[in-house]
Amino acid sequence: MVGAGQLARMTYQASIPLRVGFRVLADTATDSAAQVCADVRLGDYHNLGDLLAFAAGCDVVTFDHEHVPEEHLAALEAAGVPLAPGGGALRYTQDKLAMRAELTRLGVPCPRFTPVADVADVTRFAEQAGWPIVLKAVRGGYDGRGVWVCDDAFAAGEVLAHGIALLAEEYVPFRRELAALVARSPHRQGAAYPVVETVQRDGVCHEVLAPAPGLSAALAEDAQRLALEIADALGVTGLLAVELFEAGGGLLVNELAMRPHNSGHWTIEGAVTSQFEQHLRAVLDLPLGAPRPAAGQTVMVNVFGGQDPDLYDKYIHVMAADPGMKVHLYGKAVRPGRKIGHVTVTGSGAGEQNLAALRDRALRAASYLATGKERGE
């Protein structure tokens, strides 16, 4: 796996019972996954030589992120290195304009969009789509970075001044955000997880509710089918996470990711097969595991760093306060606002009250780990 962040760390855990040999390409020996893997190679994923040396002896190479340059992906494939997903599929996670164009060609419902080069382009688009509009970096955005909601031409001009390639999208007044996670293997086996609700703050995922509460069976099935169809059409090997807006009684595709995804961390405890095991199975062309839930309801909440770099006391208090809370720490140095872990809690029921209690427990634990305080204190 190229990249040694928390996704590689959790994928490594899943590789152990499967008896899968696992090597990671890390920037430094202190990277999240590099701390725990037995086979760590240090190198720079921007450097083709490092990538080729890393891949030597691997049956297949997969990715913790989508930042390996497109030309290096092509060069690896030309050198006979099997990539999963391949460069042809990964392209749609690296270039949002290509993604939007391809999904539109496939008839997948998306927000209206257009490439923009100057304020006149944005204004023309806004005359049809209405203000506010959303500007997005064509390349390199994630976790809310590279996304700007603009109320007027002046705000758009400030974003355009960054001098990066941009597209404009209509602003969708969505009811909520959903995510559909599927896996696809080279044998074209597919598996679809229950559709979840993701609760964002400032464009960053904070909570995941699995399954999405109150989602109609018809919409859930639509979302799963859509994700499986996109995975097939784009030739994805491994996981595909499709971030969706629920709006106007239907679904619109927001973003794609082709790797284990934050919206799937709940599957470690909440599904029969975790997304990390599933990604390995798909990438290695093993039969896929059952994606069905292992609990009635699961809530995952991300843990962000607070001011205090020392987590230890807070970690003990959370364990003592809630013995059923599953705490996952990524081994990352604490910095304010940095994603350093997550907590997960499962419940047997499926009712609203039960969900509210689970969310309360998980939000408390995550807040306490970050700040040493209960929420609202």
36 versus 155: smaller Cβ distance to its own copies: 36
Q: How far apart are CA 88 and CA 108, in angstroms?
A: 19
DSSP alpha helix (H) spans, the chain = 6-18, 48-55, 70-78, 87-94, 96-105, 119-129, 153-160, 217-234, 267-270, 275-283, 312-321, 352-371
Question: Nearer Cβ to its own copies, position 40 or 98?
Answer: 40
| Residue 35 binds to its own copies (criterion: CB under 8 A) | yes
Q: Could you tell me the two tokens for 152?
A: 């007027």
d(CA 227, CA 179): 9
Of the pair 60, 75, the CB lying nearest its own copies is at 60
Cα dihedral 197→302→344→173 (10° resolution)? -10
Site string for its own copies, 263-282 (x = CB under 8 A): ------x--xx-------x-
Q: Are the CB atoms for 82 and 232 separated by under 8 Å?
A: no
Within its chain, how far is the Cα of 346 from the centroid?
21
HSE toward the beta carbon, residue 54, CA cutoff 13 A: 31
163 binds its own copies (CB under 8 A): no
Q: Cβ 323 to its own copies, closest distance in Å?
A: 4
Nearer to its own copies, 168 or 325 (CB): 325
**Distance, CA of 49 to CA of 21 (rounded, Å):** 22
d(CA 34, CA 8): 9
Shortest Cβ distance from residue 222 to its own copies (Å)? 24
Number of residues near its own copies (by CB under 8 A): 39
Q: Is there binding between residue 329 and its own copies (CB under 8 A)?
A: yes
Contact region with its own copies (CB under 8 A), list: 9-17, 88-96, 154-162, 356-364: 9-17
Question: Rounded to whole angstroms, what are the CA distances from 210 to 180, 286, 350, 365?
Answer: 11, 26, 10, 18
The least CB distance from residue 72 to its own copies, in Å, is 27
Least Cβ distance, residue 310 to its own copies (angstroms): 12
Q: Lay out the site mask for its own copies across 337-356 (x = CB under 8 A, - = otherwise).
A: ---------x----------
Sign of CA dihedral 50, 52, 58, 61: positive
306 belongs to the binding site for its own copies (CB under 8 A): no
The residue from 107, 163, 249, 323 that contacts its own copies (CB under 8 A) is 323
Question: Which member of 287, 336, 337, 349 binds its own copies (CB under 8 A)?
Answer: 287
DSSP helix/strand/coil, 167: strand
- From candidates 286, 357, 371, 372, binder to its own copies by CB under 8 A: 286
Chosen residue from 288, 355, 363, 365 binding its own copies by CB under 8 A: 288
Residues binding its own copies (CB under 8 A): 9-10, 12-13, 16-19, 35-38, 40, 191, 269, 272-273, 281, 286-290, 292, 294-295, 315-316, 319-320, 323-324, 326-331, 346
